[in-house]
Chain A
Amino acid sequence: MTAHDALFYIFAGLTLVCGLLVIANPFSRNPVTSAMFLVLAIASLAGLFVLLNAYFLAAVQVLVYAGAVMVLFLFVIMLLDLKEEQRRRARSWTINVLSGAGVFSVAAILWIFFRSMKNSQLDRSSVAVVEGATLPLGQLLFNNYLLPFEIVSVLLLVAMVGVILLSKRDLR
C-alpha cells in the first residue's frame, strides 16, 4: 500500500465518520456540534481533493465552505437561540423505511456510476495526470467557460440583493 492509498483511506474514513456525526450525533443534538463536524468533514474532503491533484479546489473548499459558509451557519445558529431538538422515540417502521432509503440511494447511485464507467470508451490506464493548479484552471475558466462565469457573477448579485430584501425588518 502506497502513501497515497493510506492517505485516501484516512481521509475517506474521516469524511464519512464526520458526515455521520453531523446528522446523528449520539452525544449531542446541538446544531453547533453538527456545524463543527461539518467543518471537519469538509476539511477532510479538501484532503481528498489534494489526493486527486485538485489543489485549487482544495483551497477554495477550505476558504469558501469551511470559512465563509460555516461562519454564516454558526452566526445564524447563535442568532436564533433555538430550543433543543426533541429526541424522538423511533418507531420500528421508521427505522426500516430510513435504512431502506439509505441502502436504495447508495445502490442506485453506484449502479449509475458503474454502468456509465462500463460504457465509457476511455482507457483509464493510460490517462495523463492533470493538475488542477490555479493556472490551467484559470485558463480554462476564462477561455471555454467565460459566459457561465459571467452568469455566475450575475447570480451572486441577485442572491445578494435577495438576501438584503429578505432581511429587511418589515417584510411585506
Chain B
Amino acid sequence: MKVGLEHYLIVSALLFAIGLLGVLIRRNLLVIYMSLELMLNAANLALVAGSRFNGNLDGQVFVFFIITVAAAEVAVGLALIVALYRKRQTAHVEDLTSMSN
C-alpha cells in the first residue's frame, strides 16, 4: 500500500495520544512539559502532511509559527518551574497540592 496522507495522520494521532498519556501518568513537571512538546509536534506533523498532500504551503507557514510560539512557551514555562522550585524545593506535581480542598 502506497504511503499517503492517511499514514501520516495515523502517526500524528498516535504521537498525540502518547503525549496525552505522558501528561496523565508522569509526576515530574519537566517530563510533563516534554509530553506537551510531543503533542505540539504531532499537530505539526498533521499540518505538514496536509500541506504536502493538498499542494499548498500555507500549512508549513503555520507550523513555522507553531514552532516559534512553542519555543517562547518553553522558555516561559521553564522559568516558572525554576521559580516554583526556588519557593517550594520541588517539581513533582504530588507535592503541589496546596490548592486542593
Q: Which residues of A contact B (CB under 8 A)?
A: 4-5, 8-9, 12, 15-16, 19-20, 22-24, 31, 34-35, 38, 41-42, 45, 48-49, 52-54, 56-57, 60-61, 64-65, 68-69, 72-73, 76-77, 79-80, 82-83, 85-86, 88, 98, 101-102, 105-106, 109-110, 113-114, 117, 122, 124, 127-130, 132, 136-137, 140-141, 144-145, 148, 152, 155-156, 159-160, 162-163, 166-167, 171
Contact = CB atoms under 8 A, between A and B. Distances in A.
A83 B95 CA distance: 12
> Main secondary structure on chain A at its contact with chain B?
helix
Nearest to A105: B17
What 10 A-B pairs come out closest when comparing CB atoms?
A23-B22, A159-B72, A127-B55, A166-B79, A109-B13, A52-B52, A163-B79, A19-B18, A113-B9, A12-B11
Give the interface centre of A65, A80, A86 by most chain B CB atoms within 10 Å: A80
A34 to B, nearest CB: 5
Given A64-B67, A140-B58, A113 B46 contact: yes
Nearest to A20: B18
Given A72-B75, A124-B54, A166-B80, 8 more contacts: A12-B11, A23-B22, A42-B37, A65-B41, A68-B71, A69-B37, A77-B30, A98-B21
Nearest to A168: B83
Contacts of A69: 37, 70-71, 74
Given A4-B3, A22-B35, A16 B18 contact: yes
Contacts of B44: 45, 57, 61
Contacts of B37: 38, 42, 65, 69
A9 B30 CA distance: 30
B69 A155 contact: yes
A65 B82 CA distance: 20
